Chain A
């Protein structure tokens, strides 16, 4: 059984079909990349899965159970954690406190002792290489560290499925390498990952499978090397072969 199954899901905003009859499944242990040009509906898919917005049509199943109608916090406690494209730390708290909030509200948190929570926090900080900044206020972190913090807060919830929305955006090459290494390490710990990414090098390297969205629909799915050769994908990204003749200048 697939860990996550998206079945014929649609969602419109006014007249815009942001997501149109999309179906896919993610198996336990996979890293799946979700790519597509800007406005293709990738983040909407992620918002639908995490419950931020509701589906118009179709159904999403997690571990065989439907998610429709559930609030974000319930979905989070079922084991789906996410990060945001634009990082959303709790500003005003320290790094450690941010991660602690994740640990305090995971599904089994009510039964955990304080010392156990502290252990989870310490371990997560170590995993994401944030120990040195543990007691700094979030405001002192640079962007790469903030992205690590997003991941740490999500990881402290001990999720089964992790949704990563453009974690690499805005990072330099070295930081991207490091983050890719970390994402692999999280996956090796048994966490299934769905990643939206514009940094092709990262998504092609990380993903076992890639899904391609274009204008709200799913146009291709498969192993990265196959998908990158798919003519429909190339067309979606680069457009059709240009017509002969000089390029018309854009009129202001």
Chain B
């Protein structure tokens, strides 16, 4: 087996994991399948591209800006739009988030055209070689950054007051409100947080992919597969799911055919849904229906 392929897959998988966390979190806490996540990812990527392109800001330094902008946008969208349609159920939420996705995607198309753009910092070519496998610095840095962000989010959810409120609300919204948790604020906070996470994933992704308004669509399908693999609502599951998808894609591309990458991913998705609908890793934590 070729280590280079595995390493490439793992490095990419970290990004997939980070990209899927927001989607998983929203499902876990609010029971919404959020199809607008792709647009938030694209927006994050564009924020990095423009900051880098116009002012030469280092792509890694754009992460907090992406996070802030998308948190604000997510918070606004939840408290102004989603909150009002939440009670109409799953299908309505699919329609609304799909609409939001179209709206944002087309707004970006109008504003910034369909041109493919790329972020190329000076260090994008360099790398190190270990035992015959070469690891580009930038990919390694992206991987580490993705894992750090996952760690930060996990810490936030388990150790802080607001994080605990998010978990409590996800487990039982009614009971949470009766112990003094402002659950409608928690929903907006969660949605903002999820948008910020996927936006930062977009920022990181812009360094290795070409940026265009359709970037989010490509990743949305991957987010689905990763979330199903890891189990809806599980953060650690999303990371492991991301790594598995990354490696599977890399192996398919180099040993089967690059064109079959998505086919293999989706066959995997269908098999998981048939044989282990709760995901690969045991029971889900979030999204226990009340």
> A: which residues have CB within 8 A of B?
50, 52, 71-73, 76-77, 81-82, 84, 88-93, 97, 100-102, 104-107, 109, 153-154, 156-157
Closest residue on chain A to residue B181 by CB atoms = A105
**Nearest Cβ on chain B to A73's Cβ, whole angstroms:** 5
Are the CB atoms of B176 and A101 closer together than 8 Å?
yes
Are the CB atoms of A105 and B179 closer together than 8 Å?
yes
Taken together as a complex, chains A and B put the C-alpha atoms of A89 and B290 apart, in Å, by 10
A residues within 8 A CB of B285?
Answer: 92
> B: which residues have CB within 8 A of A?
161, 164-165, 167-168, 171-172, 174-183, 285-286, 288, 290
Taken together as a complex, chains A and B put the C-alpha atoms of A198 and B168 apart, in Å, by 30
**Per a CB cutoff under 8 Å, which of B176, B177, B179 touches A157?**
B179
Taken together as a complex, chains A and B put the C-alpha atoms of A13 and B187 apart, in Å, by 28
B residues within 8 A CB of A100?
Answer: 164
Are the CB atoms of B161 and A104 closer together than 8 Å?
yes
Q: A101 with B177: in contact, given A89-B172, A91-B171, A92-B285 (CB under 8 Å)? A: no
Are the CB atoms of A76 and B177 closer together than 8 Å?
yes
Taken together as a complex, chains A and B put the C-alpha atoms of A76 and B177 apart, in Å, by 8
Closest residue on chain B to residue A97 by CB atoms = B164
Taken together as a complex, chains A and B put the C-alpha atoms of A42 and B103 apart, in Å, by 49
B residues within 8 A CB of A105?
Answer: 161, 165, 179-181
In the complex, the number of residue pairs spanning A and B with C-beta atoms less than 8 Å apart equals: 73
A residues within 8 A CB of B165?
Answer: 101, 104-105
**Per a CB cutoff under 8 Å, which of A88, A101, A106 touches B174?**
A88
Closest residue on chain A to residue B174 by CB atoms = A88
Closest residue on chain B to residue A98 by CB atoms = B168
Taken together as a complex, chains A and B put the C-alpha atoms of A106 and B290 apart, in Å, by 23
B residues within 8 A CB of A50?
Answer: 178
Are the CB atoms of B181 and A101 closer together than 8 Å?
yes
The 7 closest A-B pairs by CB, nearest first: A105-B180, A90-B171, A88-B175, A72-B177, A76-B180, A102-B179, A101-B168
A residues within 8 A CB of B181?
Answer: 73, 101, 105
**Per a CB cutoff under 8 Å, which of A71, A93, A157 touches B167?**
A93
Taken together as a complex, chains A and B put the C-alpha atoms of A90 and B181 apart, in Å, by 13
Q: A101 with B179: in contact, given A91-B172, A92-B171, A93-B171 (CB under 8 Å)? A: yes
Taken together as a complex, chains A and B put the C-alpha atoms of A97 and B168 apart, in Å, by 9
Are the CB atoms of B180 and A73 closer together than 8 Å?
yes
Are the CB atoms of B180 and A106 closer together than 8 Å?
yes
Taken together as a complex, chains A and B put the C-alpha atoms of A150 and B181 apart, in Å, by 16
Are the CB atoms of A157 and B164 closer together than 8 Å?
no
Taken together as a complex, chains A and B put the C-alpha atoms of A97 and B178 apart, in Å, by 16
With A76-B178, A81-B178, A91-B171 given, name 18 new contacts (CB 8 A). Answer: A73-B178, A73-B180, A73-B182, A76-B180, A82-B178, A88-B172, A90-B171, A92-B167, A92-B285, A101-B164, A101-B176, A101-B181, A102-B179, A104-B164, A105-B179, A105-B180, A153-B175, A154-B179
Taken together as a complex, chains A and B put the C-alpha atoms of A93 and B171 apart, in Å, by 9
